[in-house]
A and B are shown apart, each in its own frame.
Chain A
Amino acid sequence: MSRIAARFAKLKAEGRGALMPFVEAWDPDHATSLALLKGMPAAGADLIEIGCPFTDPMADGPTIQLAGRRALDAGASMKNTLAMVRDFRADDTDTPIILMGYLNPILSYGVERFCADCAGFGVDGLIIVDLPSEEADLVLPHATANGLDIIRLIAPTTDDARLPLVLNGSSGFVYYVSITGITGTRTASGDELADAIPRIRRFTDLPIAIGFGVRTAAQAAGAVTHADGAVVASALIDIVKADLDSNGGKPKPDTVARVLAQVTALAEGVRGVRSAA
């Protein structure tokens, strides 16, 4: 059983949903992002998404765009993003790590070598934003050969006719993009989620995580009322950015602690809800 499947099985047995915080690799620098990553499991993260910086993140709002820019300016690359996973795995062999990013840096790295290195360094799953099902054969065989889960995005625009195609070849969990829009902007209403999640469940037994627009503990709790997990990204990055803005571009001594405190607050929100599944 993959780490992702094992983790969701464990949470299901506990009767609760998953909190999946996001950390942009190398934002604003290597040390800060590695400290965030390493601190997240103890703070309450059940799975962790690592954002792979890209110059042109077309599905991301200003928060993640700027985080990616800061990371690249600090020297981020695909290679040293993978190295962060290796360093994380030195202390933690249980928490699933999912890389989220765009296709071009993966193509540039070499898809086959990338998937092999991901597996070797301890990555469990991939979310490739600009790789829809129609193009997935570029990556899927190599991901499968290396035991990596391919986590598909499902959007409000993905209709019933299309869902089987999108789900075909997806594993680990499915990621419901809860709004038509970019990250860190709008938030889906409870009614929208109450319509969307059961619709997707008719087509898959995979766990469903909700992302895009989940910012607060209450919203994370709302998300796991309907689904199996909540992804929080921009709200955590905003804490980093506020510190950088007020401290001459440098993180403050307690920046990491405050982001992790927010992860804990989100985790408490999630843990206060019995899972719907």
Chain B
Amino acid sequence: MNAPSPRFGANSLRNGPDARGRFGEFGGRFVAETLMPLILEVEAAYNAAVADPAFQPELDRYLKDYVGRPSPLWFAQRLTDRLGGAKIYFKRDELNHTGAHKINSCMGQILLAKRMGKTRVIAETGAGQHGVATATVCALFGLPCTVYMGAVDVARQAPNVFRMKLLGAEVIPVTSGASTLKDAMNEALRDWVANVRDTFYIIGTVAGPHPYPMMVRDFQSVIGNEAKAQLHEAEGRLPDMCVAAIGGGSNAMGLFHPFLDDPSVRLIGVEAAGHGLDTFQHAASLSRGRPGVLHGNRTYLLQNEDGQIQEAHSISAGLDYPGIGPEHSWLHEIGRVEYEAATDQEALDAFQLCTRTEGIIPALEPAHALAHVAKIAPAMDRDKIIVMNLCGRGDKDIFTVAEALGVKL
């Protein structure tokens, strides 16, 4: 619709997307005509909410008093000493209500759904964190909630499935494809096509058709905005590096976006390398994929030579996705963000390192970010500062980790 005026100055990297929902050549609105009017309606409603002086204060109140923001910025002293290099700070988004960053965006989207008069909510989920966060805000606002979840993920994330049900959500296992996150998103989109008039789709990551990548990023940017202010208070300066795990890329986008115009800050996204980047069992869309169109946006995808989408693999259900948010694809191509990868084994090692040195059980998703931090921090000077997004807690993953470590519970 109307092009948003540059919010951050003409040369800022933070002005995207353009009026067509594009970040460079990525993004857009590749949906069936049935959904197109609704997508435009969501965009108009979001723009109206942003322009409404009452919207942000209302969201802020929920974030503060219900979610528990701001989340702390923790100097991980023991981990820093152990690695013997750069100072490592954790942005503790695992301390949010429901245990991950996902609720930041769910809270914003449910307020939007209410403004639009929608009476039913759907969501997709991989690890279950987004499903739990969506079920939570639906319980809080009294809206019925249906969550689509790959059948494989239903099995490996049983505690989160039960949480969603306790919260009153209907969880529908999806058995098409590889029965993971990609397939759950297909099924949620099919539900939406059939229920356009009354249903709001709360997407969990910075992907999907415009305006979702922008909207979810905006709601998640609270992470980076807080981290920037908190580090300024603690150290009086910017970090040298920010590191975050990437599946669809919402926690990374939330941390990185407020730092995009600070060229001294290196930004590193860590994809899931699964069994290794040179196997076919990984989820590294940027490292090993190429541009294509899936789930409403043009972005890097794991696909074969015929344009058929390939299944991703990661020990982390939340990273097990063959695509990535379109803004990441753009940041990759312009070189502003560096994209690395960590294997299942490296993530498991980091999971244990974090647990033993800091007394924090991280989710397997941020364990990938930590695995990269553990690789590079030792070679950095001791006066350098890394901020890592500890975007979720690991309670949901203890069964997966036990199995990987050969422990019977």
Which B residue sits closest to A54, measured CB to CB? Answer: B308
CB contacts under 8 Å to A, within B171-221, are 176-177, 182, 186, 189-190, 193-197
A255 within 8 A of B: no
A135 within 8 A of B: yes
B233 within 8 A of A: no
Cβ-defined contact, B31 with A132, below 8 A: yes
Q: Mark A54-83, 1 if CB is under 8 A from B, else 0.
A: 111011111001000000100001110000
B292 within 8 A of A: yes
| Chain B residues positioned under 8 Å from A109 (CB to CB) | 306-307
| Chain A residues positioned under 8 Å from B31 (CB to CB) | 58, 130, 132
Stretch at the interface among B33-41, B69-77, B280-288: B33-41
Tally of chain B residues near chain A (CB < 8 A): 36
Q: Mark A205-245, 1 if CB is under 8 A from B, else 0.
A: 00000000000000000000000000000000000000000
Cβ-defined contact, B32 with A130, below 8 A: yes
B354 within 8 A of A: no
| Chain B residues positioned under 8 Å from A129 (CB to CB) | 32
CB contacts under 8 Å to B, within A121-164, are 129-135, 152-159, 162
Cβ-defined contact, A72 with B32, below 8 A: no
Cβ-defined contact, A107 with B292, below 8 A: yes
Cβ-defined contact, A153 with B32, below 8 A: yes
B239 within 8 A of A: no
Contact of B308 among A105, A131, A158, A166 (CB under 8 A): A105
| Chain A residues positioned under 8 Å from B306 (CB to CB) | 77-79, 105, 108-109
CB of A129, distance to nearest CB on chain B (Å): 5
A203 to B293, CA, bound (A): 30
A107 to B300, CA, bound (A): 12
CB of B306, distance to nearest CB on chain A (Å): 4
Cβ-defined contact, B34 with A155, below 8 A: yes
Which B residue sits closest to A66, measured CB to CB? Answer: B176
| Chain B residues positioned under 8 Å from A182 (CB to CB) | 190, 193-194
Contact of B29 among A107, A135, A166 (CB under 8 A): A135
B309 within 8 A of A: yes
| Chain A residues positioned under 8 Å from B165 (CB to CB) | none
| Chain B residues positioned under 8 Å from A133 (CB to CB) | 33, 36
| Chain B residues positioned under 8 Å from A79 (CB to CB) | 306
Q: Mark B33-61, 1 if CB is under 8 A from A, else 0.
A: 11111100000000000000000000000
CB contacts under 8 Å to A, within B12-44, are 20, 28-38
Cβ-defined contact, A159 with B37, below 8 A: yes
Cβ-defined contact, B33 with A180, below 8 A: no
Cβ-defined contact, A134 with B307, below 8 A: no
Cβ-defined contact, A185 with B194, below 8 A: yes
| Chain A residues positioned under 8 Å from B28 (CB to CB) | 134-135
| Chain B residues positioned under 8 Å from A134 (CB to CB) | 20, 28-29, 36
A133 to B37, CA, bound (A): 11
A62 to B189, CA, bound (A): 14
A27 to B29, CA, bound (A): 30
CB contacts under 8 Å to B, within A72-100, are 72, 77-79
Contacts A104-B293, A132-B36 given; indicate if A180 touches B307 (C-beta within 8 A): no
Cβ-defined contact, B34 with A59, below 8 A: yes
A188 within 8 A of B: no
Cβ-defined contact, B308 with A72, below 8 A: yes
CB of A187, distance to nearest CB on chain B (Å): 13
A61 to B191, CA, bound (A): 10
CB of A185, distance to nearest CB on chain B (Å): 7
Cβ-defined contact, A56 with B305, below 8 A: no
Contact of B190 among A54, A59, A77, A153 (CB under 8 A): A59
List the 8 closest A-B pairs by CB distance, nearest first.
Answer: A108-B307, A105-B307, A155-B34, A181-B194, A153-B33, A59-B32, A77-B306, A104-B307
The interface of chain B, by Cβ under 8 A from chain A, is 20, 28-38, 176-177, 182, 186, 189-190, 193-197, 291-296, 301, 303, 305-309
Question: Can you list 12 residue pairs at the A/B interface with Cβ under 8 Å?
Answer: A58-B186, A58-B190, A62-B176, A65-B176, A77-B306, A78-B306, A104-B293, A107-B291, A132-B32, A132-B36, A157-B37, A177-B33
18 further A-B contacts with Cβ under 8 Å, apart from A56-B309, A156-B34, A158-B36, are: A53-B308, A54-B307, A56-B177, A56-B186, A58-B189, A59-B32, A105-B308, A107-B292, A107-B307, A108-B307, A129-B32, A135-B30, A155-B34, A180-B194, A181-B193, A181-B194, A182-B190, A185-B194
